[in-house]
Amino acid sequence: MIAPAANPSSHSMLSQTTKNVKLAPQALSKRLVYRVMVNGEDLTPEDINDPAFSTMEETSTHAAYVYKCYSKSETGLRSKSMTCGWTVYATTINLDDIKIDHTLDTEEGLVSENAELSKAPSAYIFSKMSELSSYPSEITITLKETETIFLFSIPSICCDKDTSEGKAVEEENVRYEYITTGKGKNRKKLCQSTQTKETITQTRHTLAMRPQKKNALVFASVWDMYDTYAKIAVTQEEHEERDEMVMYQSAAPHLLRQKKKKVQEVDTTPGKTFLEISQIPQYLDAVLLTDRVLASLKYGTSQKRFRGLISMDPLSLDLVYVYTLRALWTYECEETYNKPISSIAFNPKYPHICAISHGKFAYADECQGMVSVWCFKNPCKPERLYTFDVSVTSVSFSTKNPSWLACGFSNGDVIIIDIQSYTKKIIASSKRDTNPCFEPIWVVTWRYLENDNEYVMITCQDGRIRKLHTTKTYKFVSAPMMRISAVEGNVRGLVTTKTCLKVDVPITRYPAVLCMIWHPTIDHCYLVGTDEGCIHKCSTHYLNQHMDVFRAHEGPVNDICMSPFMNELLASCGADNAIRLWLEGLEDSIMTLNCQSAVTGITFCPINATILISASGQALSVWDLRRKIHMPCAEYTFPGNVTLTYVQFEASGHNVFVGDTLGRLHTFHLEDTPIPPYNQTKMLDEAIRKALCTRPHMIKQLDKLMRSKELKSKSDK
Write out pLDDT tens, residues 526-557.
Answer: 999 999 899 999 998 888 788 899 999 988 99
Strands laid side by side in the 78-80 sheet: 55-57, 87-90, 78-80
Hey, what domains does the chain have and what are their CATH numbers? 2-95 (no CATH), 300-496+506-585+599-609+617-676 (2.130.10.10)
Under 8 Å CB-to-CB from 2, ≥6 apart: which residues? 34, 35, 36, 37
Strands 611-616 and 619-624: antiparallel
Spatial CB neighbours of 537, under 8 Å, sequence gap ≥ 6: 519, 525, 526, 527, 546, 547, 548, 549
Rounded CA-CA distance 191/193 in Å is 7
Q: Are 36 and 44 in contact (CB under 8 A)?
A: yes
DSSP class per residue in 21-66: ---S-HHHHHHHHEEEEETTEE-PPPPSS-TTS-EEEP-TTT-SS-
The DSSP bridge partners found for residue 258 are: 242
- Alpha-carbon distance of 628 to 631, in angstroms, equals 7
Q: How far apart are CA 690 and CA 513, in angstroms?
A: 34
- So what's the pLDDT on residue 200? 67
pTM: predicted TM-score of the whole model, two decimal places: 0.61
> pLDDT value at position 45?
76
Cα 145 from Cα 544, distance rounded (Å): 98
| Spatial distance between the Cα atoms of 639 and 643, rounded to a whole number of angstroms | 10
Taking the C-alpha atoms of residue 384 and residue 439, their distance in angstroms, rounded to an integer, is 27
Distance separating alpha carbons of residues 600 and 646, to the nearest angstrom: 7
Evaluate whether 337 touches 355 at the Cβ level (below 8 Å). Answer: no
Query: What's residue 70's pLDDT?
Result: 41
Q: Please check whether residue 603 is in contact with residue 664, taking contact to mean a CB–CB distance below 8 angstroms.
A: no
CA distance 348 to 654: 18
User: Which stretches of the chain drop beneath a pLDDT of 70?
Assistant: 1-32, 48-133, 189-210, 235-271, 314, 364, 450-452, 472-475, 498-508, 717
